[in-house]
Amino acid sequence: MTIIEWLRQPWPWYVSGPLIGLLVPVLLISGNKSFGISSSLRHICAAVIPGRVSFFQYDWKKEIWNLLFVLGVLIGGFIAITWLMNGSPMQLNPSLEKVMAPYGILPDPTHVVPYPLFSWESLFTIRGFILMVVGGFLVGFGTRYAGGCTSGHSITGLATLQWTSLIATCCFMAGGFIMTNLIMPFILKL
């Protein structure tokens, strides 16, 4: 098996999980940096939008590494989807397929995300608007309100034993369970 063939295979959790986990001590040792993505939008705004907004008045250049990390994520995603796709269709758990079928959401190997939910056409439906626009706003608002995203709190924050990260992670999980089991079925019926 060549390295390209190996890279094209799905990586099991026991490989990818520890690799992500090892990122935390590497960042801490290399300059007391925290792993997280959500703060990069603030850094971009501080760099690009000149103004007197106090939230953007800080030395964003100290956080340039975070912007390079986000750029690396984008480049890595492009490389993966362009040259490392293994050609096999996306496989969903059969139980999930049974749950989604009554809502008209059937597996489609030509799309990475469920096309009836996440497409330009569905954006102009009530269901699509709620999921993409309202949901996107709530995720963005919640990220800033919590002081970080799931990667910042649940990976770095828990690894460094931060109490606020434990609370935030518990809230993330509770919100996910409530959304999946109580709210999402109602939205999918729209």
Best CA proximity match to 35, nearest among 25, 24, 22, 46: 24
**In the prediction, which pLDDT does 176 show?**
93
- Residue 76, classed as helix, strand or coil, is helix
Best CA proximity match to 160, nearest among 24, 27, 16, 50: 24
CA distance 178 to 155: 22
Residue owning tokens 């490989």? 15
Ranges of each domain in the chain: 1-88, 119-190
**In the prediction, which pLDDT does 185 show?**
93
Q: How does pLDDT run across 111-164, given as a tens digit for each residue?
A: 778 888 889 999 999 999 999 999 999 998 988 888 888 888 998 899 889 999
CA distance 83 to 167: 40
Our separate counts of H helices and E strands in the chain read: 12, 0
pTM value? 0.78
